Structure 1
Amino acid sequence: MKINKNSWQVKFLFWRARYLTNRQFILILCALIGFLSGILAVLMKKFTLLIQSLLQNGLVMHYHRAFYFVFPTIGFFIVYLIIKYVIRHRVESGIPYTLYAISKLKGLMPTYQMYASLLTAPITVGFGGSVGLEGPMVASGSSISSNLGKLFHVNQSERMLLIACACAGTMAAMFKAPVAAIVFAIEVFSLDLTLMSLIPLISSSLLAVLTSYFFFGNEFLLPFYTHEDYKFADTPYYIGLGILSGIVSIYFSIAYERIIQFYESIDSLLKRLFFGGLMIGIIVFFIPPLYGEGFELMNNLIKGQPELSLNNNVFGWDLSNEWQIIALMGGLVLFKVIATATTVGAGGVGGVFAPALFMGSMMGHFFGRLVNKMAFWGQTVPLSSFTLVGMAGLMAGVLHAPLTAIFLIAELTGGHTLFVPLMMTAAISFSISKYYLKHSFYSKSLALKGELITHNKDQAILTLMDIESVIEKNFIQLTPQMNLGEVVYQGIVKSNRNIFPVVHPETQHLEGVISIDDIRSIMFEHALYNEVTVAEMMKKSVEVIRLETDKMADIMRKFQDTGAWNLPVVREGVYIGFISKSRLLSAYRRKLIYFSNS
């Protein structure tokens, strides 16, 4: 392709090479991404609040609550039309797809993803979808950073850093919690914490928070500052909350997965849409607090005023009755994950970060009220603290991000008074969840495919390696019908390799392998040239690398188990080539050096 040397892009790249070092340019890009992430968070949140205000404060308040029945279906249908006629691509799930792009797409994300979530997620949530905006924000921000990196020709490791900066920026702008946002990027995206990565993350997170402050002022999603100190006497109850958090985290993950599988079994997208819309409509009609993200109820719980959000329950329960409030809290915990999974399964766009916070706050409040009602040894616990610590407990269990959970709640409360119970509850919840669920909600699908990047350096390098790039194809193929003479004159004489694949002449399926070592004792016996065939000499039972299933870690394991220096590669039985141990280890070392120096 001919390059226009007068284009602004080429001129800028020349200017950059002349006046900026690579590190300076990356820092500038990270700061720009932080600003753009802040703008993205503001746009998405404002758009969502506008829709909710028009619907809830308009139609429902002034006409009839029966509108709750139809809002979700209308929202899902609008999202369906936008995806089909405007975006014209599938809108991928936020953080899991971003992790996939890092591990298998070299950090390259499609351009439509920049605006896809921005258009669809606010409509999903605004019309009653019980999901969060954080995942879609991360997806859009990551796509913006990926395409900026592509535009300015940054390398793979720098693109990965830009994506992590976008993640930190969007989370920082959303919650005004820059430290927790940085921890989230490191914990979820398995980024190495070095000075080279820390400064860009700080600049991105800082610019995003400043942008959010500029547009939102001092308005917080969870505007609360705790003044209650941790009491040692509350320790057994925080331990109990940690155990409950672990159990509820397992329930969340399993229930979500089963419900998504149910909707995927419905072949028609429109059937999913209308059935899911009807289900969400019924749920939010009977339980209005499940409409949207649910931050209003969470704030009222923290303030100790749950009746402000629960007084319009269709059951007409008396909220002065403690047991009825406890029952409502328990119901919200059980039904939130059903509403969230139904929203996603029906075709809505959203994440699970906010639902995990919502369920955690309900669970913590439920547990605190239950303890106070039972009044063991005449002792009571602070409800606001248990509400907040419950959020951290469920985040740690569902997302497998205990450090993020601890720092987020600590930052939101504006102090360190809850650090001990936060650490205690998050650690217990994470341990229980990790024991039963090896991978988090975000990473499970990738981990099962062997495509997940972890903090394990060896595993991360293997995941980032491209199998196709290490396949060698300059091998002379033999057929089972060929005789020894043909092997010598058409194979050994013409080849500089000492191993030969034996393939079926028509289907090209691999039938076996012949090495020079196997026939060395007879290769000069001219009397046998027309007597012995390849079918008699070849090894039939050889270990093969299957492209459709084997990952790089599997290939390394096969080399280790067999002790072979070359293994044949097949795709659905058809011969492709060979991978040699020496070439594989050389590629591994190059990749390791590349990312270690980046």
Structure 2
Amino acid sequence: MSRFTATLERLNKWRMQRVSNRNFIIILAFVVGIVGGVAAALLKGMTHSIASFLQDDIEWQYKYSLYLVFPLIGILLSVLYLRKVLRGKKFEHGITPIIYAISRKSSKIESHNIYSQIITSALTVGFGGSSGLEAPIAHSGAAIGSNIGRFFGLSYKEVTMLLACGASAGISGAFNSPLAGMIFSIEILLTEFSIPVLIPLLISSALAAVISKILYNEPLFYTSVTDWEVNALLFYLLLAVIVGLYTIYFSKLSQEVKKWMIKIHSPYIRVWVSGLSLGLLIFIFPALYGEGYLTIQQILDGQFNSVVQNSLFSDYRDIGWVVLAYTVLTLFAKSLAALITVNSGGNGGVFGPSLVMGGLLGFAFAYGVNLTGLATLNVPNFVMAGMAGALSGIMHAPLTGIFLIAEVTGSYTLMVPLMIVASISYLINRNGMKHSIYTKVLADSGDLISYEDKDRTVLSMMKLRYIIETNFVILRPNEKPSDRKSDIIHSKRNIFPIVESDGKFLGIIYSERLFSILLGEEEGVNRNFGTLAQKPNDFVRLDEDMDVVMKKMNREDVWILPVIDKTGKYLGFISKSAVFNKYRALLMRQGNYLD
């Protein structure tokens, strides 16, 4: 292995001399796309093999009773893997950690995520966990891109580019939708769009779709799309409003479920609580088992009572209003089940559940209208529009929602309804929830890159401890100006901190006053610094955000402020000069992703 690494390092040195980074990124985009496609196929294959074994291969009279505990087993196995195999290595799931890595960790994602995301999500979803595979495979793909870029010693912006290529490859391979994979990275990860970004993303997404299709050719949905009718436009508008409001509900529920789960400190107790809760929900609503795509496919095939089938209410599956009411209950149960799964220790994402919830909502709306006799709506069309709307609202990614549904259905016939429902749902959610389900936590902690307020964003990226200046002459309160005359005269700073021997900050004194005292223009040459100390206009605590620091400086109209810790001990000074220098450096770092 060391010989192989050494060979790669020699190759990399040769490459740095002969191949420009711009062209090398294109080459690596091919590599990331191929590996990402293999990872997507592997994840889908593993998950569906586990699910098939549990549902079809086991022959036992009472095997269906085990469906109540399968999700618990899957989550438990996932937690055991994290605690026993990874042994304390940091593991995070979902899209949020990818965004955080771009914002705060120089696009560094730990290499174990390449395989850990696949293993844990296959166990979670394969055993019936009610979540999706798309976020884990996007995370795995992002880890592939990040680690390849860092291995070759590329810059931050180039590693970020490859990270986005990996995420695109993951989504593309999972859905066999290269265009949606590319747009996903542009909307969710890169935030700013430029033409140079487009080519590597296209390459990775296209290759991943090809590789995934070769290795595991199973389309997400089969459906025969019919053209939409202009007379149904009002109903598409109504559906858009309903979906938008529902996405706000789901986003708020996500925050509450996360709070509930955090209160359960023991990971194993959390597994039991969540596993048993999921088992109960699946017992009442069998459609919640696993990803949920099978139910949507059955609805698209015209089996409108499939939601009720195999449930406790299957005897009433031919009664339309029972089907409608049960679908609505399943919709809300799905939102709870998905959030319990992803917050309990299992690995999965809300990408897939968003599609299922949107599909159920679109079905309930169209089926309900048809029951009233007010109109005759094409149910499959509304199912697909609902999926696009839910994805758009929850993720704040309308283009991803539109093109994903258009690609997975194999037709752009519904483009206009998809655009209407996705855009309105997004606007409603954006009005009610400023940040998406992925970025809310980061926005609250100040770790989100936002180009709507670039000044505040760049300030939020600064860490105060890295720009503290400490080259100041420290004066003790029992000392006198005459005692430190030489140090004062030769200091390159015009401000002196007065600090106790135990580090406690007492105050400051400026060089102008000290020179005046030493020259006899002002009395005090025999006074100690404890009596001469001045209280600063304000001070900065180490844990304060840079946005707060700048507000203090502007409010007091000062150029420099002392920094202290929680106990009041002196740490140094923070100056506007240091802030501006760091600001310029970060602006250059956060410039275009490719020059």
Q: TM-score range by the shorter chain?
A: over 0.9
SS at match of 1:150: helix
Paired letter, 2:555 = D
Q: How many angstroms apart in 2 are the aligned matches of 1:211 and 1:458?
A: 42
Task: Indicate whether 1:148 and 2:148 are aligned.
Answer: yes
Q: Which residue of the partner structure matches residue 576 of structure 1?
A: 571
Paired letter, 1:384 = P
Q: Which residue of the partner structure matches residue 18 of structure 1?
A: 17
Pairwise mapping of residues 144-223 of structure 1 onto structure 2 (< 5 A)?
144-217=144-217, 219-223=218-222
CA spacing shift, 1:82–1:579, aligned 2, 3 Å: same
Q: Which residue of the partner structure matches residue 108 of structure 1?
A: 108
Q: How many angstroms apart in 2 are the aligned matches of 1:81 and 1:469?
A: 38
Q: In the TM superposition, what is the alpha-carbon distance from 1:492 to its structure 2 partner?
A: 2.3
CA spacing shift, 1:32–1:390, aligned 2, 3 Å: same
Paired letter, 1:19 = R
Q: How many angstroms apart in 1 are the aligned matches of 2:281 and 2:127?
A: 13
Contact map agreement 2:137 2:174 (CA 8 A) in 1: no
Pairwise mapping of residues 234-313 of structure 1 onto structure 2 (< 5 A)?
234-308=232-306, 310-313=308-311
Contact map agreement 2:44 2:216 (CA 8 A) in 1: no
Q: In the TM superposition, what is the alpha-carbon distance from 1:6 to its structure 2 partner?
A: 9.7
Q: How many angstroms apart in 2 are the aligned matches of 1:463 and 1:234?
A: 47
Contact map agreement 2:536 2:561 (CA 8 A) in 1: no
Q: In the TM superposition, what is the alpha-carbon distance from 1:309 to its structure 2 partner?
A: 5.3
Paired letter, 2:39 = L
Contact map agreement 1:519 1:537 (CA 8 A) in 2: no
Q: In the TM superposition, what is the alpha-carbon distance from 1:284 to its structure 2 partner?
A: 1.0
Moved more, 43-52 or 85-94: 85-94
Q: Which residue of the partner structure matches residue 318 of structure 2?
A: 320
Q: How many angstroms apart in 1 are the aligned matches of 2:513 and 2:384?
A: 69
Count of residue pairs the alignment pairs up: 589
5+ long unaligned stretches in structure 2: none
What CA RMSD, in Å, does the superposition of the two structures yield over aligned residues?
2.4
Q: In the TM superposition, what is the alpha-carbon distance from 1:562 to its structure 2 partner?
A: 3.3
Contact map agreement 2:140 2:170 (CA 8 A) in 1: no
Pairwise mapping of residues 424-443 of structure 1 onto structure 2 (< 5 A)?
424-443=420-439
Q: How many angstroms apart in 2 are the aligned matches of 1:204 and 1:45?
A: 18
Q: How many angstroms apart in 2 are the aligned matches of 1:459 and 1:317?
A: 59
Paired letter, 1:311 = Q
Q: How many angstroms apart in 2 are the aligned matches of 1:146 and 1:341?
A: 28
Q: Which residue of the partner structure matches residue 468 of structure 2?
A: 471
SS at match of 1:567: strand
Contact map agreement 1:453 1:459 (CA 8 A) in 2: no
Moved more, 315-324 or 557-566: 557-566
Moved more, 119-128 or 588-597: 588-597
Contact map agreement 1:60 1:66 (CA 8 A) in 2: no
Q: Which residue of the partner structure matches residue 42 of structure 1?
A: 41
Query: 1:230-257: CA deviations, max 9, x gaps?
Result: x332222222212211221121122222
Q: In the TM superposition, what is the alpha-carbon distance from 1:501 to its structure 2 partner?
A: 2.4
Query: 1:106-126: CA deviations, max 9, x gaps?
Result: 111222222211111100001
Pairwise mapping of residues 587-598 of structure 1 onto structure 2 (< 5 A)?
587-596=582-591, 598=595
Contact map agreement 1:512 1:542 (CA 8 A) in 2: no
Task: Indicate whether 1:494 and 2:494 are aligned.
Answer: no
Q: In the TM superposition, what is the alpha-carbon distance from 1:26 to its structure 2 partner?
A: 0.9
SS at match of 1:189: helix
SS at match of 1:404: helix
1:547 to 542, 545, 567: 542
SS at match of 1:576: strand
Contact map agreement 2:113 2:143 (CA 8 A) in 1: yes
Q: How many angstroms apart in 2 are the aligned matches of 1:28 and 1:99?
A: 24
Contact map agreement 2:391 2:398 (CA 8 A) in 1: yes
Q: How many angstroms apart in 1 are the aligned matches of 2:264 and 2:195?
A: 49
Q: Which residue of the partner structure matches residue 418 of structure 1?
A: 414
SS at match of 2:273: helix
Query: 1:265-317: CA deviations, max 9, x gaps?
Result: 11221111112111111111221110111111111122221334531112234
Pairwise mapping of residues 498-577 of structure 1 onto structure 2 (< 5 A)?
498-506=494-502, 508-517=503-512, 522=517, 524-525=519-520, 528-550=523-545, 552-572=546-566, 573-577=568-572
Moved more, 307-316 or 120-129: 307-316
Q: In the TM superposition, what is the alpha-carbon distance from 1:595 to its structure 2 partner?
A: 4.2
Q: How many angstroms apart in 1 are the aligned matches of 2:115 and 2:584?
A: 38
5+ long unaligned stretches in structure 1: none
SS at match of 1:65: helix
CA spacing shift, 1:455–1:62, aligned 2, 3 Å: farther
Contact map agreement 1:60 1:68 (CA 8 A) in 2: no
CA spacing shift, 1:523–1:425, aligned 2, 3 Å: farther
Contact map agreement 1:128 1:291 (CA 8 A) in 2: yes
Q: Which residue of the partner structure matches residue 448 of structure 1?
A: 444
Paired letter, 1:408 = L
SS at match of 2:506: strand
- TM (norm. structure 1) is 0.92
Contact map agreement 2:516 2:522 (CA 8 A) in 1: no
Paired letter, 2:212 = S
Q: In the TM superposition, what is the alpha-carbon distance from 1:410 to its structure 2 partner?
A: 2.3
Contact map agreement 1:272 1:345 (CA 8 A) in 2: no
- TM (norm. structure 2) is 0.93
Q: How many angstroms apart in 1 are the aligned matches of 2:205 and 2:553?
A: 44
Q: In the TM superposition, what is the alpha-carbon distance from 1:29 to its structure 2 partner?
A: 0.8
Q: How many angstroms apart in 2 are the aligned matches of 1:61 and 1:30?
A: 48
Q: In the TM superposition, what is the alpha-carbon distance from 1:375 to its structure 2 partner?
A: 2.9
Pairwise mapping of residues 374-393 of structure 1 onto structure 2 (< 5 A)?
374-376=372-374, 379-393=375-389
Q: In the TM superposition, what is the alpha-carbon distance from 1:571 to its structure 2 partner?
A: 3.2
**Identical pairs, percent:** 35
CA spacing shift, 1:207–1:547, aligned 2, 3 Å: farther
SS at match of 2:570: strand
Q: In the TM superposition, what is the alpha-carbon distance from 1:474 to its structure 2 partner?
A: 0.7
1:366 to 364, 367, 373: 364
CA spacing shift, 1:470–1:319, aligned 2, 3 Å: same
Q: How many angstroms apart in 1 are the aligned matches of 2:553 and 2:410?
A: 54
Contact map agreement 1:121 1:348 (CA 8 A) in 2: yes
Q: How many angstroms apart in 1 are the aligned matches of 2:53 and 2:279?
A: 17
Q: In the TM superposition, what is the alpha-carbon distance from 1:596 to its structure 2 partner?
A: 3.2
Moved more, 561-570 or 110-119: 561-570
Q: How many angstroms apart in 2 are the aligned matches of 1:302 and 1:561?
A: 61
Q: How many angstroms apart in 2 are the aligned matches of 1:520 and 1:369?
A: 86
Q: In the TM superposition, what is the alpha-carbon distance from 1:394 to its structure 2 partner?
A: 1.3
Q: In the TM superposition, what is the alpha-carbon distance from 1:87 to its structure 2 partner?
A: 1.4
SS at match of 2:574: strand
Paired letter, 2:330 = L
Query: 1:452-496: CA deviations, max 9, x gaps?
Result: 11234445544544544432211122344444444x616522310
Contact map agreement 1:190 1:454 (CA 8 A) in 2: no
SS at match of 1:307: coil
Paired letter, 1:560 = N
